[in-house]
Amino acid sequence: MAKIAAKRGSRTGKAARRPEGAKTRARRSASTGKGKAAAGGKNLVIVESPAKARTINRYLGPDYVVRASMGHVRDLPSKSLGVDLEKDFEPTYELLDGKKKYVTELRKYAKSAPQVFLANDLD
């Protein structure tokens, strides 16, 4: 009997609650729609989080395509001031490392969408 208790205690988290041999569902990617067609006449909604993209997509229906930018994609440069003092403090943004792929895909969706909605976080 002690062996059985030790066996059960060895698994933690969700795996411990799932019976052995039970199949798990694969998660759908809501990031930038890898393998999916472009917006194609549907309105595009851009959010930061894949989880938010999945949730919002369920509410909006078939006339909308919701994609995630996977967080911030641009920021002020860290090595310089980031604003042009001579041009009324105009900000100078730079693309963050590793975000070019997401921006390229979002631009592709935006070109074919009649409207683009940016639903970013307040930060």
**Which domains, and CATH codes, for the chain?**
26-118 (3.40.50.140)
The pLDDT of residue 61 is 87
Q: Which two tokens stand for residue 29?
A: 């990617």
41 — phi, psi (to 5°)?
90, 0
- Give the pairing of strands 43-47 and 64-68: parallel
Average pLDDT over residues 24-52: 67
Token look-up 């920021």 returns 75
The pLDDT of residue 46 is 93
Tens of pLDDT, residue by residue over 57-97, are 999 989 999 999 998 888 888 888 888 888 888 888 888 88
Q: Name the amino acid, one letter, at 17.
A: R
